[in-house]
Amino acid sequence: MRLGFAGTPEFARVALEQLLAAGFEVALTLTQPDRPAGRGMKLAASPVKSLALERGIQVVQPRGLRLEGRYAHDAAAAQQALADARLDMLVVAAYGLILPRPALVLPRLGCLNIHASLLPRWRGAAPIQRAIEAGDEVSGITIMQMDEGLDTGDMLMVEREPITAQDTTATLQDRLARLGGRLVVEAVAAAAAGRLVRMPQPAEGASYARKIEKAEGAIDWSLPAVLIERRVRAFDPAPGANFRLGSEAVKVWSAAVCEGTAPAGTVLRADGEALVVACGVAALSLLHLQRPGGRRIGVREFSAARPPVVVGARL
């Protein structure tokens, strides 16, 4: 099995590492172009690119893959690289670009996708975040044979992973990355032996996990406290749930639902031990916060480091 790999973030790097550890030949990687990162906003390689360069694997970074699109030259070069690689299979994980049909049909056995949900629930860009936000009790990994639709291809392997009441996107993503890496190794081995069985996705239960927008991080206190608490976890590590406190945008990294009744956004308790805010239903006790340019700290340290929040104030 001569593989190609398309992926960008840490979630994908874990899968690539497991494929290499299993002894599969990876001849080519596709990953997103380097992006500005960190406080200095210097160009940084993706986790997949970094690993590929360490292992001496060819890296291709097109800005687009559609021959009729804005980056037609990049697309043509990438498709030529795929053709030249003479791949048996392309494994895709959180790549960030949609593969058009010419790319999908180049590998002899097509393209496999590692998708972080139990398809057909949460097709799309942000399945982990949307599952936590919705209050789902279970997520998982689906290994899928890619087609031209948006996460609509036949399922090859499925395994469930519980979502705990403490899970953030970061913690759940870590577990799903390891699970996805293990399953895709099994899937590629089964494909090599001709043992993969394709299962059409169920007709019922499809939903779409739209991309997370930065503006969604702003807390709407009129929502039920239970939903705000889930969003705090879903938006960790990015974009982070936040609210305005004076001139500052304060991020909330953990919170707990509690009792309390008042107009939404009213501060119910602010005594150095707790910061409690009324919501549309019930209230939210803010546990870990972060001021601009600072670090994540507990509410006691947060309260001691700035002028006190006044009970009865509206956030």
List the one residue out of 219, 226, 220 whose CA is nearest residue 281: 226
Task: Name the β-bridge partners of 161.
Answer: 139
What integer pLDDT is reported at residue 41 of this predicted model? 79
Residue 32 confidence (pLDDT): 96
97-123 pLDDT, tens digit each: 999 999 999 999 999 999 999 999 999
Q: What pLDDT is stored for residue 303 in this prediction?
A: 87
Q: What pLDDT is stored for residue 168 in this prediction?
A: 98
Query: What pLDDT is stored for residue 40 in this prediction?
Result: 77
> For 196-225, how does the pLDDT look when each residue is reduced to its tens digit (9 = 90+)?
999 999 989 999 999 999 999 999 999 999
Q: Please report, for residues 10, 136, 175, 256, 276, the alpha-carbon distance to residue 159 in angstroms, rounded to integers and kept in the order given.
A: 20, 15, 12, 30, 39
Any idea which fold 2-209 has? Rossmann fold (3.40.50)
Ranges under pLDDT 70 in the chain: none
Please count the other Cβ atoms lying within 10 Å of the Cβ belonging to residue 309: 20
pLDDT of residue 271: 85
Task: Give residue 56's region: left, alpha or beta (phi > 0; psi -120 to 50).
Answer: left
Dihedral angle computed from the Cα positions of residues 72, 96, 103 and 82, in that order, rounded to the nearest 10 degrees: 90
pLDDT of the residue at 44: 93
How many whole angstroms separate alpha carbon 230 and alpha carbon 249?
Answer: 19
**Domain boundaries of the chain, sorted by first residue:** 2-209, 215-304
Assess if CATH 3.10.25.10 describes domain 215-304: yes
Residue 237's alpha-carbon distances to 167, 232, 288, in angstroms, are: 12, 9, 13
